[in-house]
Structure 1
Amino acid sequence: MSVLDYQPIHAGAHYDPEPAGGKMSRLDLYATPDRSGTPTASVEAASRLRPGVYRFSLPDVPMGRYWATVTFTRSQGTPPVRDTALVLDLPTGQGLVVSPEAVADELGLPLPLDAAQRSTLTTAIRNAQADVVGYLGRPLIPRTLTLLAVQPRWSDDLDSADTWPLPEQDDLVDVEAYRPRGDGTYDVDVLVGLNAAAEPAVRRYVAAHAAESERNRPNNPVGEGRRVSSVSAEGQSISYEAAPVVGQAGAPPTLDSLSSLRRLLFRPVTRPARAPWPYSASPRYRRR
């Protein structure tokens, strides 16, 4: 089952309606960008993960792109607000940083995708992700760790990982959700590791390079191939456009753009060898 973690936006800013008496009313999925007619599917309720973030459990629908509308009330007694800016490529949670539809957009390929196109683009995405994993030295999918019946410490900021008694972690830690048990303790879900699907730089790199790999692959079945700049009158010669170089507008991102996400290795500092007597204070050589 796919899920959507939604952050309500009102008047150009993130907004949390529940403390003011508002609520999430519904989410509707449409098959066309104009969001008209009968929705393909609807969800009536969302659970509040943490302040400002609500989770919808999405129904099983055919794979593809959907245009969504979220309806919520800002506070008690106010008219409902409709957010029509969401575009969802379903299903989610498949271990892919971007969807095949996102790569199809880069290639200029019309939607919907057939099964062969989807399979080809999925393979290209996984290959691009493998390059990123090799460069960063870390996986792109975090793991979930659940802490049971724990108490916050040092701070009242329940969204901070430093508030909870976590085991020693040499990696990124984000609090995904917490649930009070009623006795002063909480059950806490945390994500350990890099959540690459939430990193715009990683998504842009993977989508761009998956598209370029398919564009330059001989006899590729999904796109128009390399960009043609000119063809001779007799069709005996073809000239191709050169891809923009790094720094030019339209150039694909490079792996160096992800350098800030590389994993840092921490090693304990080794203590230097003890100096010989009389420069050392070792009891073994102390003057009696």
Structure 2
Amino acid sequence: MALNLIVKVHPVVLFQIVDAYERRNADTHRVIGTLLGTVEKGIVEVTNCFCVPHKEYADQVEAELNYAMDLYDLNHRVNAQESIVGWWATGKEVTNHSSVIHEYYARECNNPVHLTLDTTMANTTRMGIKAYVCVQLGVPNGKQGCMFTPVRVQVTSYEPEIVGLQLCAKTQTLPPGQALSKQGGVEPMLDLAQIAEASTKLLTLVDQVLNYVDDVLAGKQIADNQVGRALLDMVHSVPKMSADQFDQMFNSNVKDLLMVVALSQLIKTQLQLNEKLTLLTTL
């Protein structure tokens, strides 16, 4: 049952792990911590995490478990829906001390997940991420053991996180004519500029889909049934309407949007006037 798990990790978790690795002590080679999230229908969704101070020696591991529980209690007061789902560690391999640490988290939750993140990036340009579960091994009435078995891991995100990721990606390759701000960052674009950029990306994706369909029809590329079903669902999701009906619907939505913006500006101005009048009456 545990081998069928799918671990979905949010970008904020990866950022927190990398930040903890960058802030580690000079003599610390590995950083560990607790994973927080939810478990539902074979899917472990990791939405938060925190670092647990520890020291590793040749024959033992020392971790500040009281600090970990206090930090979890404080987080639980703010995010009651998040519970312990496992633990994480930097590095690309499972070490000899991992089983000892995993035993502790096995007492805190059922089937804890062990997540590893290769923050060194020694042999690749991508940051490797893997997830494991511990499977019990042994014979009845004999010596028992465990083995870390890999499970599927995916990086998922909410819509607000996607906006933040896209803004972070622009700090690597800036479009022509756009420069970094004085603080070394990228300023968010205006609403109309975001719509224009999204429309350009949409046109690029449509061209890629059309080229794929043409190549399949011409026999240049092997058809993928999963892609075909996705394209069919996409076509059926588009409402059937003429160009005039689409223009009328679009213009109506734009008018509603402009009305909402105008009303919000009027309310903002009225609140500012009310605030100044109140201040004058109190003087």
TM range (shorter): under 0.3
Q: Which has the higher helix share?
A: 2
TM-score, normalised relative to structure 1: 0.26
Structure number with higher strand proportion: 1
